[in-house]
């Protein structure tokens, strides 16, 4: 008899084979992290079923099985290897295996050179991700599968990690996108993540086999893979058990089952995980804590008996909808706190209907809406005001602590915090990319362990040894938790550890504080997550200060909105919010269209209400709404794009050179265009970036954590190849031009050497010429000589003299191009000043001009009425100055110089664009922030990736405008 156990991150799979390798037993169950117990029970079951089998060939496999195997002496088989063994035996002739598990994703290439790939430290695109997304949509994974079958269109959703996807999905939901489309988009994101993350340049073709839970249970997911791979894969019988079967096949030692059971039962975890002091040393300490916090309560009055003016505040948040009715003196009359199951509109409708039923004669003077769904709710119900979340929270916090210095709000999926300086919001920290989702993570984890969130967090209050999980993105925390469990941490310890981790994330990843003094003494904490006593305690412990938690901690956004409405309302005003009659007739229809007014091709959701009123969501600029003319004349990014496209494709007697339009080519294109046309080459540039262009090159990306601008290069080169261009010029460049702003003039390693990656990973370049030699344009005198030698390797008959002349023209053109941009920038600044417009210096790298990279942020800013210029306009005015960092990259030196310049201009603000995965920006962002804050300016950073939703960006920008009083 052979037994294979596959202990995965969420389930245990077991198979028993008889001596002829026939299945005689199999089981598949969730272990809810009780691995030892589940394992012991399973073996006991097998023993009672086959009582006369003393011994069996037994092996353990699976990511959560290592520990138990190590300490019980039962042989361990790596799970991918086990899957391979099984496929080789049961399905000979298979070329590729795709296996998705709870937290793992794997691709096995079996033929033409064995290769096995599995996901690294990122759990995006796995079963856990799908479960998370399903719960976000408030459906079961099975329902998600069914939903996806009714899809009409696919949205772009980032699946790198669940957090990204949430930021993509939530706005879609809030804008009213159809659930089936979102369901299908989730699967498509998983497919795209698997292909991009794991195929790494290797084509997936031939006989394909799908294994693992998600692929077994979801036919929609299989169809998505089939579609993307242009093939039809097979999901074999027993597809859940392949790893277990493989382990059974690999088992090479007979094991005494009684002994194995005993050693599992005696398996004592090490208990040497690192831990922190307990949250509360005693029950008494906890009670004192509760008493202190219970003092901070808002006044309440009875709605039914209330007589007077009322104000409505609504916070349509990402995972919950909150609404309050407030009396004239600020007392709370009525409140609701509901999970946002995707579409906030019906929730608010119910809230209002019930309100009118309870109090038909209510006198609502004004109403305000805040949160992700602000615009939709505001237009659906004709609320009077919209207010950015940060301002709403600040307004509410002030009512509890008038001289509040710091407000921190940890909500379902985001952390918002800000400092208050001179009575205005000064410094906003929103969680970027990978650390968001903190509150909902606690919830997901509680659910996974079969606890309600409340129960789960209570467990940790008196835990003796809270696990030290560090400060890290919550997705990664999952595996830290696994490790702690392996080391013997109890559920209590883990619960407390997770509360600590959420706090540490907020403090050290988002705020990046190094001492409690940095936050000030007067701190208000709020947001649903702080209702959790364990989190609150962990926060006070970590910063060493007692803080204020209002009893309406979860309602602060809505309460702030109500306060704001009261503040805004004119005497005698009556709110325009739909009354009981209008509400009864209320209807809401959603249509999805693609805007064709510019290259961003926004997916618009058009919401139509009963009286024909419309609300359009998903737009980046005002054009589809107002039909106004473009505001490109105050957008230097748009000017740069237009200027670059004025270099038209040409033909030449020496043949055509293709140039991929990405990374540093965004600035050097005029140089190389002139250089090659002067040498009588034709020049073709790759098309403007788009999602489709990216997907077309996606399969060949070897490193999934490189920045999006670099990843796009694969698509650009592929586009040139598809156009039939035989010679592509994309040189390596360690050095950029020396603009005398820094200590050196390097390119970043990715910009410098990405051509090497293209050359080594794009099979479609076979038979084509990729000129990726190392060139040094920074040495003007040497350049023609060196370049002549390079060109001579590829072309005959080009003389050094020709190259010299072409180079001279190229340098001149480059200078002229930059001069033109700078002059145009100056004109825009002058015009803005004439029109009294705010000037936003949107700073990044030259390639951030690419609309697929900046996702239309430039247009979003102009839609607020501001003028957008770029950092290079200002840096030209500056001289080299000492920095607190090694100032050695040309593009980055411009950032510091621009920050210096902005610091001296009252009507300019700097907004820095940062690509996710840009290691260099870990350094530049700190320095730019430092320069600006030293000079009393607000620093605003926007992280960009494949994600194309601008919700968080809008909050930042609106808060910025609110803070500077525009």
Figure out which of the listed residues 116, 382, 462, 962 binds other proteins, where binding follows CB under 8 A: 116
In terms of phi and psi (left: phi > 0; alpha: psi -120 to 50; beta: otherwise), the region of 94 is beta
- Out of 41, 622, 926, 933, the only residue in the binding site for other proteins (CB under 8 A) is 926
* Interacting span for other proteins (CB under 8 A) from 149-157, 436-444, 846-854, 917-925: 917-925
> Hey, which residues between 555 and 614 contact other proteins (CB under 8 A)?
none
- Indicate whether 203 belongs to the interface with other proteins (CB under 8 A): no
First and final C-alpha spacing in the chain:
76
Looking at the Cβ atoms of 152 and 252, the one nearer to other proteins is 252
111 binds other proteins (CB under 8 A): no
Q: Which of 476, 794, 795, 811 binds other proteins (CB under 8 A)?
A: 476
Which region among 391-399, 679-687, 782-790, 901-909 touches other proteins (by CB under 8 A)? 782-790
Using CB under 8 A, count the residues that bind other proteins. Answer: 84
In the complex with other proteins, the residue whose CB is nearer, 118 or 695, is: 118
Q: Does 222 bind other proteins (CB under 8 A)?
A: no
- Span 724-743, contacts to other proteins by CB under 8 A: 732, 734-735
Least distance (Å) from other proteins to the CB of residue 753? 4
In the complex, minimum distance from the CB of residue 443 to other proteins, in angstroms, rounded to a whole number: 21
Contact 7, 62 (CB under 8 A): yes
How far is 893 from 885, CA to CA, in rounded Å? Answer: 10
193 contributes a contact to other proteins by CB under 8 A:
no
The rounded distance, in Å, linking the Cα atoms of 752 and 730 is 10
Does residue 479 belong to the site contacting other proteins (CB under 8 A)? yes
Give the residue with the Cβ less far from other proteins, 175 or 478.
Answer: 478
CB closer to other proteins out of 775 and 911? 775
Residues 503-542 that bind other proteins (CB under 8 A): 508-509, 512, 514-515
Ramachandran assignment for 234, one of left (phi > 0), alpha (psi -120 to 50 degrees), beta (any other):
beta
Distance CA 457, CA 255 (A): 41
**In Å, how far from its chain's centre is CA 54?**
52
- DSSP conformational letter for 507: I
The Cα 264–Cα 71 span in angstroms is 9
Does 760 engage in binding with other proteins (CB under 8 A)? yes
Counting contacts by CB under 8 A, is residue 822 touching other proteins?
no
What does R_g of the chain's alpha carbons equal in angstroms?
A: 30
- Which residues in 71-110 contact other proteins (CB under 8 A)? 76-81
Side-chain-facing half-sphere of 95: CA atoms under 13 Å: 11
When the beta carbons of 401 and 732 are compared against other proteins, the nearer one is 732
DSSP 451: -
Both tokens of 833, joined, read 């000043």
**Partners of 25 in beta bridges:** 16
x-or-dash string of contact with other proteins, 483-502, rule CB under 8 A: x--x----------------
Q: Minimal distance in Å, beta carbon 370 to other proteins?
A: 30
The conformation of residue 241, written as its DSSP 8-state character, comes to S
Extract the runs of DSSP E, i.e. beta strands, from 540-587.
Answer: none
Q: Which of 781, 797, 836, 965 binds other proteins (CB under 8 A)?
A: 781
What is the spatial distance between Cα 488 and Cα 479, in angstroms, rounded to a whole number?
A: 14
Nearest distance from C-beta of residue 914 to other proteins, angstroms: 9
- Does residue 889 bind other proteins (CB under 8 A)? yes
* Range 690-729, binding other proteins (CB under 8 A): 702-703, 705-706, 710
User: How far is the C-alpha of 121 from the C-alpha of 123, rounded, in Å?
Assistant: 7
Q: Which CB atom, from 39 or from 173, has the smaller least distance to other proteins?
A: 39
Smaller CB separation from other proteins, 473 or 489? 473
Alpha-carbon dihedral angle through residues 393, 396, 402, 406, given to the nearest 10 degrees: -20
Contact between 160 and other proteins by CB under 8 A: the answer reads no
- Of the candidates 667, 739, 773, 872, which one interacts with other proteins according to CB under 8 A? 773
Tokens of 382: 């004709």
Q: How many CB atoms lie within 10 A of CB 227?
A: 14
The correct pick among 47, 398, 482, 601 for binding other proteins (CB under 8 A) is 482
User: What residues numbered 260-279 form the site for other proteins, per CB under 8 A?
Assistant: 274
Candidates 39-47, 199-207, 372-380, 821-829; binding stretch for other proteins (CB under 8 A): 199-207
| Number of CB atoms found within 10 A of residue 252's CB | 9
Nearer to other proteins, 140 or 705 (CB): 705
Distance of alpha carbon 142 from alpha carbon 224, whole angstroms: 16
Segment lying near other proteins (by CB under 8 A), choices 360-368, 579-587, 666-674, 753-761 = 753-761
Distance CA 445, CA 348 (A): 29
Strand partners, 255: 56
Rounded-to-integer distance, Cα 43 and Cα 12, Å: 12
> Which 17-56 residues touch other proteins, going by CB under 8 A?
none
Q: Give the nearest distance from C-beta 442 to other proteins in angstroms.
A: 17
Dihedral sign (CA 749, 751, 756, 761): positive
How far is Cα of residue 224 from the mean position of the Cα atoms in its chain?
A: 22
């Amino acid at each position: 008899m052979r037994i294979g156990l596959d202990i995965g991150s969420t389930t245990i799979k077991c198979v028993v084979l008889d001596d002829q390798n026939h299945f005689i037993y199999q089981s598949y169950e969730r272990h809810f992290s009780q691995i030892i117990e589940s394992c012991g029970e399973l073996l006991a079951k097998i023993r009672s079923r086959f009582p006369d089998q003393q011994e069996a060939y037994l092996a353990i496999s699976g990511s959560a099985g290592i520990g138990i195997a190590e300490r019980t002496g039962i042989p361990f088989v790596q799970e991918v290897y086990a899957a391979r063994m099984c496929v080789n035996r049961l399905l000979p002739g298979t070329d590729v295996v795709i296996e998705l598990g709870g937290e793992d994703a794997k691709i096995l290439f079996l033929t033409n050179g064995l290769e096995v790939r599995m996901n690294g430290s990122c759990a995006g695109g796995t079963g856990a991700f799908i479960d998370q997304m399903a719960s976000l949509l408030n459906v079961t994974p099975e329902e998600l599968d069914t939903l996806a079958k009714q899809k009409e269109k696919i949205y772009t959703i980032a699946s790198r990690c669940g957090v990204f996807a949430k930021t993509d999905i939530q706005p879609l939901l809030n804008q009213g996108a159809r659930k089936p489309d979102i369901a299908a988009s989730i699967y498509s994101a998983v497919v795209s993540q698997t292909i991009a993350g794991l195929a790494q340049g290797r084509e997936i073709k031939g006989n394909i086999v799908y294994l693992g839970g998600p692929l077994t249970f979801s036919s929609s997911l299989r169809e998505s893979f089939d579609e993307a791979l242009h093939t039809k894969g097979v999901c074999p019988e027993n597809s859940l058990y392949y790893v277990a079967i493989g382990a059974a096949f690999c088992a090479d030692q007979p094991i005494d089952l009684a002994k194995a059971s005993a050693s599992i039962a005696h398996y004592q975890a090490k208990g040497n995980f690192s831990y922190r002091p307990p949250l509360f040393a005693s029950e008494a300490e906890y009670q004192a804590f509760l008493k202190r916090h219970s003092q901070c309560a808002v006044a309440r009055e009875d709605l039914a008996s209330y007589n007077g003016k009322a104000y409505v505040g609504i916070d349509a948040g990402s995972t919950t909808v909150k609404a309050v009715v407030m009396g004239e003196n600020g007392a709370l009359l009525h409140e609701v706190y509901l999970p946002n199951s995707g579409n906030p509109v019906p929730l608010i409708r119910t809230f209002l209907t019930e309100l009118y039923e309870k109090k038909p004669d209510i006198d609502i003077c004004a109403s305000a809406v805040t949160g992700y769904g602000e615009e939709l709710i505001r237009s659906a119900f004709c609320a009077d005001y919209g207010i950015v979340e940060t301002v709403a929270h600040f307004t509410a916090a002030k009512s509890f602590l008038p001289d509040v210095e710091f407000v921190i709000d940890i909500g379902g999926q985001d952390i918002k915090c800000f400092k208050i300086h001179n009575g205005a919001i000064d410094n906003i920290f929103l969680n970027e990319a990978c650390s968001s989702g903190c509150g909902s993570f606690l919830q997901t984890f509680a659910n996974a362990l079969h606890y309600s969130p409340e129960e789960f967090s209570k467990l940790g209050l008196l835990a003796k040894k809270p696990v030290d999980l560090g400060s890290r993105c919550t997705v990664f925390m999952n595996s830290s938790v696994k490790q702690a469990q392996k080391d013997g941490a109890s559920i209590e310890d883990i619960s407390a550890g997770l509360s600590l981790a959420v706090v540490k994330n907020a403090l050290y990843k988002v705020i990046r504080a190094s001492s409690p003094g940095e936050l000030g003494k007067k701190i208000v904490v709020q947001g649903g997550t702080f209702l959790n006593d364990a989190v609150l305690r962990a926060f006070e412990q970590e910063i060493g200060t007692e803080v204020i938690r209002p009893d309406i901690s979860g309602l602060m956004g809505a309460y702030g909105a109500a306060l704001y409405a009261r503040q805004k309302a004119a005497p005698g005003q009556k709110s325009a919010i739909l009354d009981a009659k209008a509400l009864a007739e209320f209807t809401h229809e959603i249509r999805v269209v693609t805007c064709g007014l510019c290259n961003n091709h926004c997916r618009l959701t058009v919401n139509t209400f009963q009286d024909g009123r419309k609300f359009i969501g998903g737009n980046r600029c005002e054009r589809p709404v107002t039909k106004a003319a473009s505001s490109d004349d105050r957008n230097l990014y748009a000017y740069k794009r237009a200027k670059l496209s004025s270099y038209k494709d040409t033909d030449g007697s020496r043949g055509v050179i293709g140039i991929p339009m990405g990374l540093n080519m965004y600035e050097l294109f005029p140089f190389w265009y002139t250089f090659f046309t002067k040498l009588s080459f034709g020049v073709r540039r790759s098309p403007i970036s788009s999602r489709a262009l990216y997907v077309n090159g996606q399969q060949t990306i070897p490193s999934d954590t490189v920045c999006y601008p670099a990843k796009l290069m694969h698509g650009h080169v592929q586009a040139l190849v598809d156009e039939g261009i035989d010679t592509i010029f994309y040189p390596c460049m360690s050095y950029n031009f020396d603009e005398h702003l820094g200590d050196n003039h390097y390119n970043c390693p990715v910009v410098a050497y990405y051509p090497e990656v293209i050359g080594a990973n794009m099979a479609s370049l076979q038979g084509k010429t990729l000129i990726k030699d190392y060139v040094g344009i920074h040495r003007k005198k040497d350049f023609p000589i060196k370049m002549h030698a390079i060109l001579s390797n590829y072309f005959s008959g080009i003389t050094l003299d020709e190259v010299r002349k072409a180079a001279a023209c190229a340098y001149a053109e480059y200078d002229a191009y930059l001069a033109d941009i700078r002059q145009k920038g100056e004109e825009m600044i002058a015009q803005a000043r004439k029109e009294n417009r705010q000037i936003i210096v949107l700073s990044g790298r030259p390639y951030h001009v690419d609309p697929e990279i900046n996702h239309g942020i430039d247009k979003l800013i102009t839609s607020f009425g501001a003028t957008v210029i770029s950092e290079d306009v200002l840096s030209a005015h500056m001289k080299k100055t000492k920095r607190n960092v090694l100032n050695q990259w040309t593009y980055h030196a411009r950032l510091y110089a621009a920050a210096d310049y902005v610091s001296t201009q009252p009507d300019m603000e700097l907004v820095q664009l940062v690509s996710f995965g840009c290691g260099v920006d870990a350094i530049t962002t700190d320095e730019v922030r430092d320069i600006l804050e030293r000079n009393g300016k607000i620093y605003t950073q926007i992280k960009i990736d494949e994600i194309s939703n601008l919700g968080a960006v809008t909050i930042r920008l609106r808060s910025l405008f609110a803070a500077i009083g525009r």
